[in-house]
Chain A
Amino acid sequence: MTASRLGVAVAIVAVVAVLATVPLFSSDVIVQFGINALLLAVLAQGWNIIGGYTGYASFGNSVFYGLGSYGVAIAMVQWNLPFAVGMIFGAGLAVAFAFLLGVPVLRLKGHYFAIATLGLAQVMSAIVSNIGIAGQNIGLVLPPLNNDHLFYELSLGLLVIATLTVFWLTRSRFGFGLIAIRENEEGAAVMGVNTTLYKVLAFALSGVFTALAGGIHAYWITFLDPDSAFDISLNVKMIIMAVFGGPGTVLGPVLGAFVLSAVSEILSSKVTNLAGLFFGAVVVAAVVLMPRGVADVMRQFRTAGWRYFVENLRAHRI
Protein backbone atom coordinates (compact mmCIF):
# COMPACT_ATOMS: atom_id res chain seq x y z
CA MET A 1 0.00 0.00 0.00
CA THR A 2 1.44 3.35 -1.04
CA ALA A 3 1.56 6.31 1.32
CA SER A 4 -1.33 8.11 -0.36
CA ARG A 5 -3.51 5.00 -0.28
CA LEU A 6 -2.73 4.62 3.41
CA GLY A 7 -3.71 8.26 3.87
CA VAL A 8 -7.05 7.70 2.20
CA ALA A 9 -7.69 4.62 4.31
CA VAL A 10 -6.89 6.48 7.53
CA ALA A 11 -9.12 9.36 6.50
CA ILE A 12 -12.00 7.02 5.77
CA VAL A 13 -11.65 5.24 9.09
CA ALA A 14 -11.62 8.63 10.81
CA VAL A 15 -14.76 9.75 8.97
CA VAL A 16 -16.55 6.53 9.89
CA ALA A 17 -15.49 6.95 13.53
CA VAL A 18 -16.80 10.53 13.59
CA LEU A 19 -20.05 9.44 11.91
CA ALA A 20 -20.45 6.71 14.52
CA THR A 21 -20.32 9.27 17.34
CA VAL A 22 -22.80 11.67 15.75
CA PRO A 23 -25.83 10.40 17.72
CA LEU A 24 -24.04 11.08 21.01
CA PHE A 25 -24.12 14.84 20.61
CA SER A 26 -26.75 15.52 17.94
CA SER A 27 -30.42 16.35 17.99
CA ASP A 28 -33.07 13.80 17.11
CA VAL A 29 -33.71 15.56 13.83
CA ILE A 30 -30.10 15.15 12.75
CA VAL A 31 -30.01 11.50 13.77
CA GLN A 32 -33.17 10.87 11.78
CA PHE A 33 -31.74 12.68 8.78
CA GLY A 34 -28.60 10.55 9.27
CA ILE A 35 -30.54 7.28 9.25
CA ASN A 36 -32.26 8.28 6.01
CA ALA A 37 -29.06 9.42 4.36
CA LEU A 38 -27.16 6.30 5.45
CA LEU A 39 -29.89 3.97 4.21
CA LEU A 40 -30.07 5.81 0.90
CA ALA A 41 -26.30 5.46 0.62
CA VAL A 42 -26.64 1.70 1.18
CA LEU A 43 -29.26 1.59 -1.58
CA ALA A 44 -27.07 3.57 -3.95
CA GLN A 45 -24.13 1.33 -3.11
CA GLY A 46 -26.25 -1.79 -3.60
CA TRP A 47 -27.40 -0.52 -6.98
CA ASN A 48 -23.77 0.28 -7.79
CA ILE A 49 -22.97 -3.46 -7.76
CA ILE A 50 -25.45 -4.41 -10.48
CA GLY A 51 -25.75 -1.04 -12.24
CA GLY A 52 -22.35 0.57 -11.78
CA TYR A 53 -20.05 -2.44 -11.89
CA THR A 54 -21.99 -4.95 -13.97
CA GLY A 55 -23.60 -2.37 -16.24
CA TYR A 56 -27.23 -3.50 -15.85
CA ALA A 57 -29.52 -0.53 -15.13
CA SER A 58 -31.80 -2.25 -12.65
CA PHE A 59 -35.15 -0.63 -11.92
CA GLY A 60 -36.02 -3.73 -9.94
CA ASN A 61 -33.96 -2.98 -6.86
CA SER A 62 -37.05 -1.55 -5.25
CA VAL A 63 -38.32 -5.16 -5.34
CA PHE A 64 -35.40 -6.18 -3.12
CA TYR A 65 -36.15 -3.25 -0.86
CA GLY A 66 -39.78 -4.28 -0.63
CA LEU A 67 -38.91 -7.93 0.00
CA GLY A 68 -36.51 -6.92 2.77
CA SER A 69 -39.12 -4.67 4.36
CA TYR A 70 -41.83 -7.29 4.18
CA GLY A 71 -39.44 -10.02 5.29
CA VAL A 72 -38.84 -8.19 8.55
CA ALA A 73 -42.47 -7.14 8.93
CA ILE A 74 -43.94 -10.59 8.30
CA ALA A 75 -41.40 -12.32 10.54
CA MET A 76 -41.98 -9.90 13.41
CA VAL A 77 -45.72 -9.24 13.11
CA GLN A 78 -47.09 -12.57 11.87
CA TRP A 79 -44.60 -15.00 13.35
CA ASN A 80 -43.34 -13.11 16.41
CA LEU A 81 -39.74 -13.71 15.46
CA PRO A 82 -36.87 -11.40 16.44
CA PHE A 83 -35.73 -8.59 14.14
CA ALA A 84 -32.46 -10.34 13.24
CA VAL A 85 -34.32 -13.40 11.97
CA GLY A 86 -36.56 -11.11 9.95
CA MET A 87 -33.51 -9.50 8.37
CA ILE A 88 -32.17 -12.91 7.36
CA PHE A 89 -35.58 -13.91 6.05
CA GLY A 90 -35.84 -10.71 3.99
CA ALA A 91 -32.33 -11.12 2.59
CA GLY A 92 -33.18 -14.73 1.75
CA LEU A 93 -36.28 -13.62 -0.15
CA ALA A 94 -34.13 -11.17 -2.10
CA VAL A 95 -31.60 -13.85 -3.00
CA ALA A 96 -34.35 -16.23 -4.07
CA PHE A 97 -35.90 -13.51 -6.23
CA ALA A 98 -32.52 -12.67 -7.78
CA PHE A 99 -31.93 -16.28 -8.76
CA LEU A 100 -35.45 -17.08 -9.97
CA LEU A 101 -36.02 -13.95 -12.02
CA GLY A 102 -32.44 -12.89 -12.58
CA VAL A 103 -31.73 -15.76 -14.96
CA PRO A 104 -34.39 -14.81 -17.53
CA VAL A 105 -34.32 -11.06 -16.99
CA LEU A 106 -30.54 -10.65 -17.09
CA ARG A 107 -30.54 -12.02 -20.63
CA LEU A 108 -32.09 -8.71 -21.66
CA LYS A 109 -29.89 -5.82 -22.62
CA GLY A 110 -30.02 -2.07 -22.22
CA HIS A 111 -33.45 -0.46 -22.18
CA TYR A 112 -35.14 -3.84 -22.25
CA PHE A 113 -33.54 -4.92 -19.00
CA ALA A 114 -34.42 -1.59 -17.42
CA ILE A 115 -38.05 -1.86 -18.47
CA ALA A 116 -38.43 -5.53 -17.55
CA THR A 117 -37.17 -4.81 -14.03
CA LEU A 118 -39.50 -1.83 -13.86
CA GLY A 119 -42.35 -4.15 -14.77
CA LEU A 120 -41.26 -6.65 -12.14
CA ALA A 121 -41.38 -3.98 -9.46
CA GLN A 122 -44.95 -3.12 -10.44
CA VAL A 123 -45.96 -6.79 -10.52
CA MET A 124 -44.48 -7.49 -7.10
CA SER A 125 -46.21 -4.49 -5.60
CA ALA A 126 -49.53 -5.62 -7.04
CA ILE A 127 -49.00 -9.22 -5.93
CA VAL A 128 -48.09 -8.26 -2.37
CA SER A 129 -51.21 -6.12 -2.07
CA ASN A 130 -53.17 -9.33 -2.66
CA ILE A 131 -51.37 -11.50 -0.10
CA GLY A 132 -53.08 -11.98 3.23
CA ILE A 133 -49.99 -12.59 5.32
CA ALA A 134 -48.52 -9.30 4.03
CA GLY A 135 -51.59 -7.37 5.14
CA GLN A 136 -52.84 -6.92 1.56
CA ASN A 137 -53.05 -3.32 0.41
CA ILE A 138 -53.45 -2.03 3.97
CA GLY A 139 -49.98 -3.08 5.03
CA LEU A 140 -48.47 -4.09 8.34
CA VAL A 141 -47.69 -2.26 11.57
CA LEU A 142 -44.50 -3.36 13.33
CA PRO A 143 -43.87 -3.26 17.10
CA PRO A 144 -42.32 0.16 17.78
CA LEU A 145 -38.76 0.47 19.02
CA ASN A 146 -37.88 4.02 20.02
CA ASN A 147 -34.14 3.74 19.71
CA ASP A 148 -32.94 5.94 16.88
CA HIS A 149 -29.33 5.59 18.03
CA LEU A 150 -29.50 1.86 17.38
CA PHE A 151 -31.05 2.33 13.94
CA TYR A 152 -28.40 4.89 13.12
CA GLU A 153 -25.52 2.61 14.08
CA LEU A 154 -27.10 -0.34 12.27
CA SER A 155 -27.44 1.73 9.12
CA LEU A 156 -23.87 2.98 9.39
CA GLY A 157 -22.62 -0.57 9.93
CA LEU A 158 -24.52 -1.81 6.90
CA LEU A 159 -23.11 1.01 4.77
CA VAL A 160 -19.57 0.18 5.90
CA ILE A 161 -20.05 -3.50 5.02
CA ALA A 162 -21.59 -2.65 1.65
CA THR A 163 -18.76 -0.28 0.82
CA LEU A 164 -16.08 -2.77 1.90
CA THR A 165 -17.77 -5.35 -0.32
CA VAL A 166 -17.62 -3.01 -3.28
CA PHE A 167 -13.98 -2.24 -2.46
CA TRP A 168 -13.30 -5.98 -2.49
CA LEU A 169 -14.95 -6.17 -5.91
CA THR A 170 -12.39 -3.77 -7.35
CA ARG A 171 -9.57 -6.11 -6.46
CA SER A 172 -11.03 -9.56 -6.83
CA ARG A 173 -11.44 -11.97 -9.69
CA PHE A 174 -15.21 -11.81 -9.26
CA GLY A 175 -15.27 -8.03 -9.55
CA PHE A 176 -13.05 -8.13 -12.63
CA GLY A 177 -15.49 -10.53 -14.19
CA LEU A 178 -18.35 -8.12 -13.52
CA ILE A 179 -16.44 -5.17 -14.95
CA ALA A 180 -15.54 -7.23 -18.01
CA ILE A 181 -19.26 -8.00 -18.49
CA ARG A 182 -20.09 -4.30 -18.22
CA GLU A 183 -17.42 -3.30 -20.71
CA ASN A 184 -18.12 -6.02 -23.27
CA GLU A 185 -20.23 -9.02 -22.40
CA GLU A 186 -19.42 -11.16 -25.42
CA GLY A 187 -15.73 -10.40 -25.04
CA ALA A 188 -15.93 -11.47 -21.40
CA ALA A 189 -17.61 -14.76 -22.31
CA VAL A 190 -14.97 -15.80 -24.84
CA MET A 191 -12.31 -15.03 -22.24
CA GLY A 192 -13.83 -17.53 -19.84
CA VAL A 193 -16.20 -15.45 -17.69
CA ASN A 194 -19.35 -17.39 -16.80
CA THR A 195 -21.47 -14.37 -17.59
CA THR A 196 -24.87 -15.78 -16.58
CA LEU A 197 -23.65 -16.92 -13.16
CA TYR A 198 -21.73 -13.71 -12.50
CA LYS A 199 -24.65 -11.49 -13.43
CA VAL A 200 -27.03 -13.42 -11.20
CA LEU A 201 -24.56 -13.34 -8.30
CA ALA A 202 -24.12 -9.58 -8.74
CA PHE A 203 -27.91 -9.14 -8.83
CA ALA A 204 -28.24 -11.22 -5.65
CA LEU A 205 -25.43 -9.37 -3.85
CA SER A 206 -26.98 -6.06 -4.83
CA GLY A 207 -30.31 -7.45 -3.60
CA VAL A 208 -28.99 -8.52 -0.18
CA PHE A 209 -27.78 -5.03 0.75
CA THR A 210 -30.93 -3.43 -0.63
CA ALA A 211 -33.14 -5.85 1.29
CA LEU A 212 -31.25 -5.30 4.55
CA ALA A 213 -31.67 -1.54 4.16
CA GLY A 214 -35.37 -2.10 3.54
CA GLY A 215 -35.60 -4.25 6.68
CA ILE A 216 -33.95 -1.63 8.88
CA HIS A 217 -36.18 1.07 7.41
CA ALA A 218 -39.35 -0.96 8.00
CA TYR A 219 -38.54 -1.57 11.67
CA TRP A 220 -37.55 2.06 12.15
CA ILE A 221 -40.68 3.51 10.49
CA THR A 222 -42.82 0.69 12.04
CA PHE A 223 -45.29 0.78 9.19
CA LEU A 224 -45.29 -0.36 5.59
CA ASP A 225 -47.68 -0.81 2.71
CA PRO A 226 -47.10 -2.11 -0.82
CA ASP A 227 -46.96 1.31 -2.45
CA SER A 228 -44.21 2.65 -0.23
CA ALA A 229 -42.28 -0.64 0.02
CA PHE A 230 -42.08 -1.19 -3.74
CA ASP A 231 -41.86 2.50 -4.65
CA ILE A 232 -40.29 2.93 -8.09
CA SER A 233 -39.22 6.47 -7.36
CA LEU A 234 -37.01 5.13 -4.58
CA ASN A 235 -35.33 3.01 -7.21
CA VAL A 236 -34.83 6.04 -9.41
CA LYS A 237 -33.40 7.87 -6.41
CA MET A 238 -30.76 5.20 -5.85
CA ILE A 239 -29.78 5.37 -9.50
CA ILE A 240 -29.54 9.13 -9.43
CA MET A 241 -27.45 9.11 -6.29
CA ALA A 242 -25.10 6.47 -7.68
CA VAL A 243 -24.83 8.14 -11.06
CA PHE A 244 -24.50 11.61 -9.57
CA GLY A 245 -21.66 10.44 -7.35
CA GLY A 246 -20.01 8.21 -9.93
CA PRO A 247 -21.23 4.73 -10.84
CA GLY A 248 -18.61 2.00 -10.84
CA THR A 249 -16.53 3.71 -8.17
CA VAL A 250 -16.18 2.67 -4.53
CA LEU A 251 -17.06 5.93 -2.81
CA GLY A 252 -19.00 7.78 -5.53
CA PRO A 253 -22.46 6.43 -4.70
CA VAL A 254 -21.96 7.15 -0.99
CA LEU A 255 -20.85 10.67 -1.78
CA GLY A 256 -23.77 11.14 -4.17
CA ALA A 257 -26.27 9.93 -1.57
CA PHE A 258 -24.89 12.21 1.15
CA VAL A 259 -24.69 15.31 -1.05
CA LEU A 260 -28.14 14.90 -2.59
CA SER A 261 -29.76 13.98 0.75
CA ALA A 262 -28.25 17.04 2.38
CA VAL A 263 -29.25 19.35 -0.46
CA SER A 264 -32.83 18.17 -0.58
CA GLU A 265 -33.06 18.28 3.23
CA ILE A 266 -31.83 21.88 3.32
CA LEU A 267 -34.12 22.88 0.48
CA SER A 268 -37.19 21.25 1.94
CA SER A 269 -36.64 22.96 5.29
CA LYS A 270 -35.86 26.41 3.86
CA VAL A 271 -37.94 26.66 0.73
CA THR A 272 -40.34 23.79 0.98
CA ASN A 273 -41.85 24.34 -2.42
CA LEU A 274 -38.70 24.19 -4.45
CA ALA A 275 -37.16 20.92 -3.26
CA GLY A 276 -38.84 18.73 -5.87
CA LEU A 277 -38.16 21.13 -8.71
CA PHE A 278 -34.55 21.47 -7.67
CA PHE A 279 -34.08 17.71 -7.55
CA GLY A 280 -35.29 17.34 -11.12
CA ALA A 281 -33.22 20.29 -12.32
CA VAL A 282 -30.06 18.92 -10.67
CA VAL A 283 -30.58 15.61 -12.42
CA VAL A 284 -30.99 17.28 -15.81
CA ALA A 285 -27.97 19.53 -15.32
CA ALA A 286 -25.81 16.71 -13.98
CA VAL A 287 -26.56 14.47 -16.96
CA VAL A 288 -25.67 17.21 -19.40
CA LEU A 289 -22.58 18.57 -17.69
CA MET A 290 -21.07 15.68 -15.74
CA PRO A 291 -22.37 12.40 -17.17
CA ARG A 292 -19.76 10.32 -15.33
CA GLY A 293 -20.55 11.67 -11.90
CA VAL A 294 -18.89 13.78 -9.22
CA ALA A 295 -16.08 11.26 -8.75
CA ASP A 296 -14.99 11.80 -12.35
CA VAL A 297 -15.27 15.57 -12.03
CA MET A 298 -12.96 15.46 -9.03
CA ARG A 299 -10.40 13.43 -10.96
CA GLN A 300 -10.53 15.42 -14.18
CA PHE A 301 -11.33 18.95 -13.10
CA ARG A 302 -7.84 19.64 -11.75
CA THR A 303 -6.25 19.07 -15.14
CA ALA A 304 -9.05 20.07 -17.48
CA GLY A 305 -10.68 22.91 -15.54
CA TRP A 306 -13.91 24.33 -16.93
CA ARG A 307 -13.11 22.75 -20.28
CA TYR A 308 -14.19 19.49 -18.65
CA PHE A 309 -17.84 20.50 -18.83
CA VAL A 310 -17.57 21.84 -22.35
CA GLU A 311 -15.93 18.63 -23.50
CA ASN A 312 -18.67 16.52 -21.96
CA LEU A 313 -21.18 18.60 -23.87
CA ARG A 314 -19.25 18.22 -27.11
CA ALA A 315 -18.91 14.48 -26.70
CA HIS A 316 -22.60 13.67 -26.52
CA ARG A 317 -24.50 16.28 -28.52
CA ILE A 318 -25.19 16.27 -32.22
Chain B
Amino acid sequence: MSAILEVTNVTRRFAGLVAVSDISFTLGQGEILGVIGPNGAGKTTLVSLISGTLRPTSGDIVFEGMRITGLAAYRRARLGIGRTFQIMRPFPGLSVLDNVAVGALFGHGSGESDLAKARDKARTQLEFVGLGKFASQRAEELGGPNRKRLELAKALAMQPKVLLCDEVMAGLNLVEIDEVIDVLRKIRESGISILVIEHVIKAIKRLSDRLLVLHHGDKIADGQPDAVLSNSKVIEAYLGRRRA
Protein backbone atom coordinates (compact mmCIF):
# COMPACT_ATOMS: atom_id res chain seq x y z
CA MET B 1 0.00 0.00 0.00
CA SER B 2 1.59 3.29 -1.06
CA ALA B 3 1.34 6.24 1.30
CA ILE B 4 -0.84 9.21 0.36
CA LEU B 5 0.09 11.17 3.48
CA GLU B 6 3.40 11.08 5.33
CA VAL B 7 3.93 12.83 8.63
CA THR B 8 7.59 13.00 9.65
CA ASN B 9 8.91 14.10 13.06
CA VAL B 10 6.17 16.64 13.54
CA THR B 11 6.21 18.72 16.73
CA ARG B 12 3.92 21.52 17.79
CA ARG B 13 4.38 23.69 20.86
CA PHE B 14 1.97 26.19 22.34
CA ALA B 15 3.76 28.71 24.54
CA GLY B 16 6.03 26.10 26.12
CA LEU B 17 3.44 23.33 26.14
CA VAL B 18 4.20 20.47 23.74
CA ALA B 19 0.91 19.40 22.19
CA VAL B 20 2.38 17.04 19.61
CA SER B 21 5.87 15.69 20.04
CA ASP B 22 8.03 14.29 17.25
CA ILE B 23 5.30 12.20 15.66
CA SER B 24 5.80 10.20 12.47
CA PHE B 25 3.33 8.00 10.66
CA THR B 26 1.89 7.35 7.23
CA LEU B 27 -1.62 7.05 5.88
CA GLY B 28 -1.86 4.49 3.09
CA GLN B 29 -3.85 4.93 -0.11
CA GLY B 30 -7.41 3.72 0.64
CA GLU B 31 -6.62 3.06 4.27
CA ILE B 32 -8.68 3.83 7.35
CA LEU B 33 -6.30 4.87 10.11
CA GLY B 34 -7.72 5.28 13.60
CA VAL B 35 -6.10 7.67 16.07
CA ILE B 36 -6.97 7.29 19.73
CA GLY B 37 -5.70 8.70 22.97
CA PRO B 38 -6.95 10.24 26.21
CA ASN B 39 -8.03 13.87 26.39
CA GLY B 40 -5.16 16.22 25.77
CA ALA B 41 -3.21 13.62 23.84
CA GLY B 42 -2.84 15.96 20.87
CA LYS B 43 -5.32 14.37 18.49
CA THR B 44 -7.12 17.47 17.37
CA THR B 45 -3.84 19.35 17.10
CA LEU B 46 -2.63 16.63 14.75
CA VAL B 47 -5.66 17.08 12.49
CA SER B 48 -5.17 20.85 12.52
CA LEU B 49 -1.51 20.43 11.56
CA ILE B 50 -2.44 18.26 8.58
CA SER B 51 -5.35 20.44 7.44
CA GLY B 52 -3.25 23.58 7.80
CA THR B 53 -5.16 25.56 10.42
CA LEU B 54 -1.99 25.17 12.51
CA ARG B 55 1.64 25.05 11.42
CA PRO B 56 4.06 22.57 12.99
CA THR B 57 6.92 23.98 15.07
CA SER B 58 9.16 21.46 13.34
CA GLY B 59 8.84 18.42 11.11
CA ASP B 60 7.36 17.76 7.69
CA ILE B 61 4.05 16.79 6.18
CA VAL B 62 4.00 15.31 2.67
CA PHE B 63 0.84 14.77 0.67
CA GLU B 64 1.03 12.71 -2.53
CA GLY B 65 4.77 13.26 -2.66
CA MET B 66 4.44 17.03 -2.25
CA ARG B 67 5.68 18.86 0.83
CA ILE B 68 2.72 20.81 2.24
CA THR B 69 4.13 21.76 5.65
CA GLY B 70 3.92 25.52 5.15
CA LEU B 71 0.97 25.62 2.77
CA ALA B 72 -2.12 27.68 3.65
CA ALA B 73 -5.21 25.72 4.72
CA TYR B 74 -7.20 26.65 1.63
CA ARG B 75 -4.48 25.36 -0.68
CA ARG B 76 -4.39 22.04 1.13
CA ALA B 77 -8.15 21.85 0.75
CA ARG B 78 -7.76 22.40 -2.98
CA LEU B 79 -5.12 19.68 -3.15
CA GLY B 80 -7.66 17.26 -1.70
CA ILE B 81 -7.49 17.32 2.09
CA GLY B 82 -10.88 17.59 3.77
CA ARG B 83 -11.58 17.73 7.49
CA THR B 84 -14.41 17.79 9.99
CA PHE B 85 -14.32 19.67 13.26
CA GLN B 86 -14.80 18.09 16.65
CA ILE B 87 -16.48 21.24 17.89
CA MET B 88 -18.90 21.33 15.02
CA ARG B 89 -18.66 24.51 13.08
CA PRO B 90 -21.27 24.79 10.41
CA PHE B 91 -21.97 28.10 8.71
CA PRO B 92 -24.82 28.66 11.18
CA GLY B 93 -26.91 31.14 9.21
CA LEU B 94 -26.77 29.25 5.90
CA SER B 95 -29.13 26.48 4.90
CA VAL B 96 -27.90 22.94 5.35
CA LEU B 97 -27.73 22.62 1.58
CA ASP B 98 -25.66 25.77 1.13
CA ASN B 99 -23.30 24.68 3.90
CA VAL B 100 -22.46 21.68 1.78
CA ALA B 101 -22.51 23.69 -1.45
CA VAL B 102 -19.58 25.77 -0.13
CA GLY B 103 -17.56 22.54 -0.16
CA ALA B 104 -18.56 21.87 -3.74
CA LEU B 105 -17.87 25.46 -4.84
CA PHE B 106 -14.37 25.45 -3.43
CA GLY B 107 -12.77 22.23 -2.26
CA HIS B 108 -10.59 19.90 -4.27
CA GLY B 109 -9.31 21.20 -7.60
CA SER B 110 -10.80 24.64 -7.63
CA GLY B 111 -14.31 23.35 -7.15
CA GLU B 112 -17.45 23.94 -9.16
CA SER B 113 -17.94 27.53 -10.26
CA ASP B 114 -21.64 27.22 -11.10
CA LEU B 115 -23.88 27.64 -8.06
CA ALA B 116 -26.73 25.49 -9.37
CA LYS B 117 -24.39 22.59 -10.15
CA ALA B 118 -22.70 22.97 -6.77
CA ARG B 119 -26.10 22.74 -5.09
CA ASP B 120 -26.86 19.58 -7.09
CA LYS B 121 -23.65 18.00 -5.89
CA ALA B 122 -24.40 19.13 -2.36
CA ARG B 123 -27.83 17.49 -2.52
CA THR B 124 -26.20 14.18 -3.51
CA GLN B 125 -23.89 14.35 -0.51
CA LEU B 126 -26.75 15.21 1.83
CA GLU B 127 -28.70 12.16 0.63
CA PHE B 128 -25.56 10.07 1.09
CA VAL B 129 -25.18 11.00 4.76
CA GLY B 130 -28.93 10.89 5.34
CA LEU B 131 -29.66 14.60 5.70
CA GLY B 132 -31.68 14.99 2.49
CA LYS B 133 -34.88 16.09 4.18
CA PHE B 134 -33.10 18.83 6.17
CA ALA B 135 -31.66 20.55 3.10
CA SER B 136 -33.58 23.81 3.43
CA GLN B 137 -33.24 24.21 7.22
CA ARG B 138 -30.71 26.59 8.69
CA ALA B 139 -27.65 24.72 9.88
CA GLU B 140 -27.92 26.16 13.41
CA GLU B 141 -31.30 24.44 13.76
CA LEU B 142 -29.81 20.95 13.39
CA GLY B 143 -29.40 18.77 16.45
CA GLY B 144 -26.09 17.25 17.56
CA PRO B 145 -26.07 13.96 15.63
CA ASN B 146 -27.20 15.65 12.44
CA ARG B 147 -24.51 18.27 12.81
CA LYS B 148 -21.97 15.46 12.83
CA ARG B 149 -23.44 14.21 9.55
CA LEU B 150 -23.39 17.75 8.18
CA GLU B 151 -19.68 18.02 8.98
CA LEU B 152 -19.12 14.85 6.98
CA ALA B 153 -21.24 16.01 4.05
CA LYS B 154 -19.41 19.35 3.92
CA ALA B 155 -16.04 17.64 3.80
CA LEU B 156 -17.21 15.09 1.23
CA ALA B 157 -18.59 17.76 -1.07
CA MET B 158 -15.02 18.96 -1.46
CA GLN B 159 -14.31 15.62 -3.15
CA PRO B 160 -11.20 15.10 -1.07
CA LYS B 161 -8.59 12.41 -1.51
CA VAL B 162 -7.97 12.30 2.22
CA LEU B 163 -10.66 12.81 4.82
CA LEU B 164 -9.68 13.79 8.37
CA CYS B 165 -12.52 13.03 10.81
CA ASP B 166 -12.27 14.63 14.23
CA GLU B 167 -14.60 12.68 16.54
CA VAL B 168 -17.53 12.24 14.19
CA MET B 169 -18.98 9.57 16.50
CA ALA B 170 -18.69 11.25 19.90
CA GLY B 171 -22.10 11.74 21.49
CA LEU B 172 -23.93 9.41 19.10
CA ASN B 173 -25.93 6.40 20.25
CA LEU B 174 -25.09 2.85 19.12
CA VAL B 175 -27.45 2.87 16.14
CA GLU B 176 -26.12 6.20 14.95
CA ILE B 177 -22.56 4.98 15.36
CA ASP B 178 -23.32 1.98 13.18
CA GLU B 179 -24.75 4.29 10.54
CA VAL B 180 -21.65 6.48 10.58
CA ILE B 181 -19.38 3.42 10.34
CA ASP B 182 -21.34 2.31 7.29
CA VAL B 183 -21.00 5.75 5.73
CA LEU B 184 -17.25 5.87 6.40
CA ARG B 185 -16.77 2.42 4.88
CA LYS B 186 -18.64 3.50 1.77
CA ILE B 187 -16.48 6.60 1.58
CA ARG B 188 -13.39 4.44 1.70
CA GLU B 189 -14.80 2.19 -1.04
CA SER B 190 -15.10 5.27 -3.23
CA GLY B 191 -11.31 5.60 -2.99
CA ILE B 192 -10.88 8.16 -0.23
CA SER B 193 -8.28 7.53 2.48
CA ILE B 194 -9.50 8.29 5.97
CA LEU B 195 -7.91 9.34 9.25
CA VAL B 196 -10.41 8.98 12.11
CA ILE B 197 -9.91 10.42 15.56
CA GLU B 198 -12.17 8.82 18.08
CA HIS B 199 -12.93 8.24 21.71
CA VAL B 200 -15.27 5.31 21.14
CA ILE B 201 -12.76 2.48 21.11
CA LYS B 202 -15.17 -0.30 20.20
CA ALA B 203 -16.30 1.51 17.10
CA ILE B 204 -12.88 2.54 15.96
CA LYS B 205 -11.52 -0.94 16.46
CA ARG B 206 -14.17 -2.31 14.14
CA LEU B 207 -13.63 0.39 11.57
CA SER B 208 -9.89 0.90 11.36
CA ASP B 209 -7.33 -1.04 9.36
CA ARG B 210 -4.66 0.29 11.68
CA LEU B 211 -4.55 2.14 14.97
CA LEU B 212 -2.27 4.90 16.22
CA VAL B 213 -2.20 5.77 19.91
CA LEU B 214 -1.20 9.20 21.21
CA HIS B 215 -0.48 10.01 24.81
CA HIS B 216 0.60 13.45 26.04
CA GLY B 217 1.64 14.31 22.49
CA ASP B 218 3.76 11.20 21.99
CA LYS B 219 3.03 8.29 19.72
CA ILE B 220 3.05 5.22 21.93
CA ALA B 221 1.74 2.58 19.54
CA ASP B 222 1.04 2.06 15.83
CA GLY B 223 -0.21 -1.20 14.27
CA GLN B 224 -3.04 -3.71 13.90
CA PRO B 225 -5.99 -2.74 16.14
CA ASP B 226 -5.95 -5.99 18.13
CA ALA B 227 -2.21 -5.87 18.69
CA VAL B 228 -2.30 -2.20 19.65
CA LEU B 229 -5.15 -2.56 22.09
CA SER B 230 -3.38 -5.40 23.89
CA ASN B 231 -0.12 -3.46 24.06
CA SER B 232 0.74 -3.00 27.72
CA LYS B 233 1.83 0.61 27.28
CA VAL B 234 -1.50 1.48 25.72
CA ILE B 235 -3.45 -0.31 28.44
CA GLU B 236 -1.49 1.51 31.06
CA ALA B 237 -1.78 4.93 29.50
CA TYR B 238 -5.29 4.85 28.26
CA LEU B 239 -7.38 1.85 29.09
CA GLY B 240 -5.85 1.20 32.45
CA ARG B 241 -7.18 4.37 33.87
CA ARG B 242 -10.69 3.43 32.86
CA ARG B 243 -10.50 0.01 34.39
CA ALA B 244 -9.21 1.37 37.64
Binding site for B on A (CB under 8 A): 171-173, 176-177, 179-180, 183-184, 186-196
Contacts and interface: CB of A to CB of B under 8 A. Distances in A.
Contacts of A187: 85, 89-91
A180 B111 CA distance: 15
A171 B115 contact: yes
Contacts of B92: 183-184
Contact of A192 (B90, B113, B115, B158): B158
B157 to A, nearest CB: 8
Nearest to B92: A183
B114 to A, nearest CB: 8
A191 B106 contact: yes
A192 B72 contact: no
A194 B105 contact: no
Nearest to B98: A176
Nearest to A197: B74
B102 A188 contact: yes
A190 B54 CA distance: 11
A110 B77 CA distance: 26
B108 interface: yes
B102 A190 contact: no
User: Is the contact region of chain A dominated by helix, strand, or loop, or is it mixed?
Assistant: helix
Contact of A180 (B53, B75, B91): B91
Contact of B89 (A172, A186, A195): A186
Interface string B60-91: 00000000000011111110001101000111
B74 A189 contact: yes
A196 B154 CA distance: 21
Given A187-B91, A191-B107, 18 more contacts: A173-B115, A177-B102, A177-B106, A179-B94, A180-B91, A183-B91, A184-B89, A184-B91, A188-B91, A189-B52, A190-B53, A191-B103, A192-B74, A192-B103, A192-B111, A193-B102, A193-B106, A196-B72
Contacts of A183: 90-94
Interface residues of B, number: 35
B44 interface: no
B51 interface: yes
A184 B87 CA distance: 12
B102 A191 contact: yes
B64 to A, nearest CB: 16
Nearest to B47: A190
Nearest to A170: B115
Nearest to A187: B89
A21 to B, nearest CB: 35
A173 B53 contact: no
Contacts of A171: 115
A192 B159 CA distance: 11
4 cross-chain pairs, A with B, having the tightest CB-CB distances, nearest first: A192-B106, A183-B91, A192-B77, A189-B73
B101 interface: yes
Contacts of A192: 74, 77-78, 103, 106-108, 110-111, 158
Nearest to B139: A183
Of B74, B76, B85, most A-chain CB atoms within 10 Å: B74
A239 to B, nearest CB: 19
B51 A190 contact: yes
Nearest to B109: A192
A27 B90 CA distance: 52
Given A173-B115, A176-B105, A195 B74 contact: yes
Nearest to B84: A190
Contacts of B98: 176
A172 B92 CA distance: 19
Contact of A189 (B53, B103, B111): B53
A187 B74 CA distance: 10
Q: Which of A184, A186, A188 is packed against the most chain B CB atoms within 10 Å?
A: A184
Given A183-B91, A190-B52, A176 B74 contact: no
A162 B154 CA distance: 31
A191 B77 contact: yes
A186 B154 CA distance: 14
Nearest to B111: A192
14 contacts: A173-B111, A176-B102, A179-B91, A183-B94, A184-B90, A186-B89, A187-B85, A187-B89, A188-B91, A190-B74, A191-B74, A191-B107, A192-B103, A196-B72
Contacts of B51: 190
A109 to B, nearest CB: 15
A248 to B, nearest CB: 8
Contact of B53 (A176, A177, A186): A186
Contacts of A193: 74, 102, 106
Nearest to A171: B115
Interface string B97-141: 010011101111011010100100000000000000000000000
B151 to A, nearest CB: 9
A189 B115 contact: no
Given A173-B113, A173-B115, A177-B105, A190 B77 contact: yes
A180 B73 contact: no
